[in-house]
Amino acid sequence: SCAKLITRFRGSMVGAVIGDCIGACFEMNDEECTKSNILKTIAHIENVKAGKRRKFGEYIYTDDTAMARSVAESLIDNKGFNAKDMAKRFSEEYMREPRRGYGGNVITVFKLLQDPQLEDVFEPARRQFDGQGSFGNGGAMRIVPAPLFSYNKDIEFLQNLTRQITEITHSHYQAIQGTILESLAIYIALHTDNTIPLDTDHYLQQLKKHMNTLEEEGLAQESEKNDKPYCYKLDKMKEYLEQEEVSIDELNEVLGNDVSALGSVPAAIYSFLRSSKPFTDELEDRNGFEKTIIYAISMKGDTDTIASMAGAIAGAYYGIKSIPDSWQHSCEGAIDASKYADKLIDISEELK
């Protein structure tokens, strides 16, 4: 029903903001990323309730959320994808608040997008990195509004929309594939019955089916490549979930935790899936959303982005009620995210 669906739309949009805001305290600060340290930050956040240390919205969002807001606003105002409008919003948002922690190279794209004479808004992205395009995770980190917008549409619609949104800044095939994987992970989580325990094998199978097709297509174009790295990582996740406990070092080695799409989207998906299994440590008393965020940050490296992408998936599955009020109050932009979710659900119903 719609009443239930709205909690999941809100959960996904707000979940992404929460992961970004809390994860940003730890980005590229690996030695801080122990579970007990992360829980110290969470304890501070939970003091908001008592009106003690923390102020409303004190944890500020970064580029991940700034760009997701532009994606949401553009999809809502245009009731669909409008490349020029979305490009304009990305670039104006960057000019308005350049200090949100943007990737080192994407800002070149934003500057070129300022040119009013620019005919093809996809051109600056194609020129990045000597013409191969960026393989950074900046496409995947902002994609959450797309699977919500596409809720009543099929996978092909979702993939096309995702690809177009990504290509405004990221044209490398691995960035596009990784963003599609994140989009699918959210879309499938939204469509999965959350009143029964999550079947992680089935969830991974669905992702693998689509990624296999995409990577096969990619192979035809990239003849020098002979592997399917996203499919490989999905297989490894299945293997890890069958094991008792896998070390963070091993996960970092195999799944990655860096600013590339290939090195971060799998870590986000794994954080969500791992959280549906029991923990024997400090995490055991936390709910599935809380576990996902804390676990995602414990992956180290690009923590704001990994936690944000994981939070979008977990929020879509567990719903807004799983996100503690104190966390929502502490994170800048969480209330706006809920409003975007409400507008996106209206539009997705219209598109039925």
Interface positions with Mg ion (CB under 5 A): 62-64, 101, 302, 304-305
Which listed option, Mg ion, ligand R7I, none, makes contact with residue 230 (CB within 5 to 8 Å by class)?
A: none
Figure out which of the listed residues 12, 13, 48, 63 binds ligand R7I, where binding follows CB under 6 A.
63
**Quick one: 285 exposed, middle or buried, by C-beta within 10 A (0-12, 13-18, 19+)?**
exposed
Q: Which is nearer to ligand R7I, 62 or 162 (CB)?
A: 62
- The answer to whether 205 contacts ligand R7I (rule: CB under 6 A) is no
Which listed option, Mg ion, ligand R7I, none, makes contact with residue 135 (CB within 5 to 8 Å by class)?
A: ligand R7I
**Quick one: 30 exposed, middle or buried, by C-beta within 10 A (0-12, 13-18, 19+)?**
middle
Which listed option, ligand R7I, Mg ion, none, makes contact with residue 137 (CB within 5 to 8 Å by class)?
A: ligand R7I
- The answer to whether 259 contacts ligand R7I (rule: CB under 6 A) is yes
Helix (H, G, I), strand (E, B) or coil at 71: helix
Which listed option, ligand R7I, Mg ion, none, makes contact with residue 134 (CB within 5 to 8 Å by class)?
A: ligand R7I
Q: Which stretch binds ligand R7I (CB under 6 A): 53-61, 88-96, 301-309, 317-325?
A: 301-309
In the block, residue with structure tokens 């406990």? 245
Cα–Cα distance between 54 and 17 in angstroms, integer?
18
- The answer to whether 106 contacts ligand R7I (rule: CB under 6 A) is yes
Terminal alpha carbon distance of the chain: 14
- The answer to whether 145 contacts ligand R7I (rule: CB under 6 A) is no
Least Å distance, CB 99 to Mg ion, is 11
Residue 342 CA, distance from chain mean position: 19
Which listed option, Mg ion, ligand R7I, none, makes contact with residue 104 (CB within 5 to 8 Å by class)?
A: ligand R7I
Q: Using CB under 6 A as the criterion, what x/- string covers residues 161-180 for binding ligand R7I?
A: -----------x--------
Q: How many residues bind ligand R7I (CB under 6 A)?
A: 22
Least Å distance, CB 264 to ligand R7I, is 7
Least Å distance, CB 138 to ligand R7I, is 2
Give 260's strand partners.
136
Please choose, from the candidates 141, 169, 107, 183, the residue with its C-alpha nearest in 3D space to the C-alpha of residue 20.
141
Contact 21, 61 (CB under 8 A): yes
Cα–Cα distance between 290 and 328 in angstroms, integer?
12
Q: Which stretch binds ligand R7I (CB under 6 A): 31-39, 98-106, 154-162, 215-223?
A: 98-106
Q: Which stretch binds ligand R7I (CB under 6 A): 70-78, 100-108, 220-228, 320-328?
A: 100-108
Q: How many CB atoms lie within 10 A of CB 248?
A: 16
Figure out which of the listed residues 29, 97, 129, 250 binds ligand R7I, where binding follows CB under 6 A.
129
Contact 258, 306 (CB under 8 A): no
- The answer to whether 103 contacts ligand R7I (rule: CB under 6 A) is yes
Least Å distance, CB 343 to ligand R7I, is 25
- Buried residues in 89-114 as b, exposed as e (16+ CB within 10 A): bbbebbeeeeebbbbeebebbbebbe
Which listed option, ligand R7I, Mg ion, none, makes contact with residue 129 (CB within 5 to 8 Å by class)?
A: ligand R7I
Cα–Cα distance between 66 and 86 in angstroms, integer?
13
Output phi, psi for 154, to 5 deg.
-90, 175
CA angle 113, 119, 123 (to 5 degrees): 60
Q: Which stretch binds ligand R7I (CB under 6 A): 90-98, 126-134, 148-156, 270-278?
A: 126-134
Cα–Cα distance between 79 and 85 in angstroms, integer?
12
Q: Which is nearer to ligand R7I, 138 or 311 (CB)?
A: 138
Least Å distance, CB 65 to ligand R7I, is 10
Helix (H, G, I), strand (E, B) or coil at 299: coil
Output phi, psi for 257, to 5 deg.
-155, 35
Please report, as ranges, the residues that interact with ligand R7I according to CB under 6 A. 62-64, 101-106, 129, 132, 134-138, 141, 172, 259, 302, 304-305
